[in-house]
Structure 1
Amino acid sequence: MDLLIPGLILFVFAHLFKRLFPKLRAFLGSPGKVVLGLVMLASVVLMVMGYRAAEVVPVYDTMPALYHANNALMILSLYLFAVGGTKSVLVGVIRHPMLWGAVIWAIAHLMVNGDLASVVLFGGILVWAILEMVLINRAGPWENRIKGSLKGDLKALGGVVVVYGLIAGVHIWLGYNPFVMAQ
């Protein structure tokens, strides 16, 4: 937790910086964006190292039946991340697809991880994503001018298949097989 919590705080701060300090961010310009990008990268490294090093402190029991739901939610989460960067039909319908992807990702992980480090990490990301959406929505109405096509959705779906396979492979390599229920 010594690295996890500072990493999470840096992650949230770097992501909320634009919303909380818009004039300062504009003043800092491109060099400021580079620094924030490095802070975000460092925050992810700290969170991963902190999560991996954290002692397992059970908070709640998980239900093995939820492992399949977790995998389905992860596909949906990745799809929302993907369409956020494309000109898909869905991106013209849903506001904040990437943030909704983060919300679903966090909930999916909380469904199958009941230890303290997971609650801090995934719960923290969940709270950040919701707070980010609230701040964006308070800044003004949504004026989406993107007219997407089914081609964008199909590209996103193709990317999801590849990325899901890579993520599953990394999880298995780290010793967390997402396709096998915990004992």
Structure 2
Amino acid sequence: MTILILGLILFLGVHSVRIFAEGWRTAQIAKRGEGAWKGMYTVVSIVGFGLILWGYGMARAQPVVLWAPQLWARHLAALLMLFAFILLAAAYVPKNGIKSWLHHPMVLSVKVWALAHLLANHTLADLLLFGSFLVWAVLNFRAARQRDRAANTVYPTGAVAGTLITVVVGVVVWAVFAFWAHAWLFGVSPVGR
């Protein structure tokens, strides 16, 4: 668990600088340059992510079970993941109404992803991993909305075509993950095949 926790601290820590230390971040970028900041950010993120994968893999080999898995939770998680993939697509598809309305769909996607996986999984490692990401996403969304209000950020109005493309892309990527990629990558089929 130590490696998983260290990975979470590094990965979520570097991704939390804008939540807890926006002024320090701005000062570091001014002092060192944006390229150096992004380089450091990227290296720490990659190291943290690698440690998360390694630590979670080790923890799955010797799981500490916290509660009995529930079939309904697995089905609900699969449905929630459909929404998570649509929100993720909304972060990238231009001129969609979902981003126009929610402003930060990627962070909301992480919230839904983490909640879905907390419902479907039942070990201490799952609680640490997905619980940490859920707390981070809640705090990050709040901080991003505060920054938007302070900067009077106005998001462009979405178009019907962009919104439809967003939904289609999200559904297709969800289907690929649900019916194939999740089992291939993680050894677990979320749809029970």
TM over 0.5: yes
Give the letter for the 1:84 counterpart.
Answer: A
**Partner of residue 159, structure 1:** 169
Q: Which stretch of structure 1 is more off in the superposition, 37-46 or 133-142?
A: 133-142
Give the letter for the 2:35 counterpart.
Answer: S
Instruction: Give 1:140 shift.
Output: 4.8
CA distance in 1, matches of 2:175, 2:57: 21
Q: Is the contact made by 1:73 and 1:105 (CA closer than 8 Å) also made in structure 2?
A: yes
Secondary structure at the residue paired with 1:108? helix
**Partner of residue 171, structure 1:** 182
**Residue 34 (str. 1) matches residue 39 (str. 2):** yes
**Partner of residue 82, structure 1:** 89
Q: Is the contact made by 1:17 and 1:25 (CA closer than 8 Å) also made in structure 2?
A: no
Q: 2:136 pairs with 128, 140, 148, which one? A: 128
Instruction: Give 1:172 shift.
Output: 1.1
**Partner of residue 159, structure 2:** 149
**Residue 98 (str. 1) matches residue 101 (str. 2):** no
Instruction: Give 1:2 shift.
Output: 2.4
Give the letter for the 1:177 counterpart.
Answer: S
Instruction: Give 1:33 shift.
Output: 0.8
Q: Is the contact made by 1:110 and 1:122 (CA closer than 8 Å) also made in structure 2?
A: yes
Provide structure 1 residue ranges, at least 5 long, that are not aligned to the other structure: none
Q: 1:22 pairs with 7, 20, 25, which one? A: 25
Q: TM-score, normalised by structure 1?
A: 0.88
Instruction: Give 1:25 shift.
Output: 4.1
Q: Which stretch of structure 1 is more off in the superposition, 126-135 or 22-31?
A: 22-31
Instruction: Give 1:170 shift.
Output: 3.2
Give the letter for the 2:130 counterpart.
Answer: F
CA distance in 2, matches of 1:165, 1:145: 29
Runs of 4+ off more than 4 Å: none
Provide structure 2 residue ranges, at least 5 long, that are not aligned to the other structure: none
Structure 1 residues 35-64: Cα deviation after superposition (integer angstroms, max 9, x where no partner): 212222222221111111102001122311
Closer/same/farther in 2, CA of residues 41 and 157 from structure 1, 3 Å limit: farther
CA distance in 1, matches of 2:68, 2:7: 26
Q: Which stretch of structure 1 is more off in the superposition, 162-171 or 149-158?
A: 162-171
**Partner of residue 72, structure 2:** 65
Q: TM-score, normalised by structure 2?
A: 0.84
Closer/same/farther in 2, CA of residues 148 and 67 from structure 1, 3 Å limit: same
Closer/same/farther in 2, CA of residues 96 and 145 from structure 1, 3 Å limit: closer
Secondary structure at the residue paired with 1:65? helix
Q: Give the count of matched residue pairs.
A: 181
Q: Which stretch of structure 1 is more off in the superposition, 158-167 or 92-101?
A: 158-167
Q: Is the contact made by 1:18 and 1:25 (CA closer than 8 Å) also made in structure 2?
A: no
Q: Which stretch of structure 1 is more off in the superposition, 7-16 or 105-114?
A: 7-16
CA distance in 1, matches of 2:137, 2:72: 26
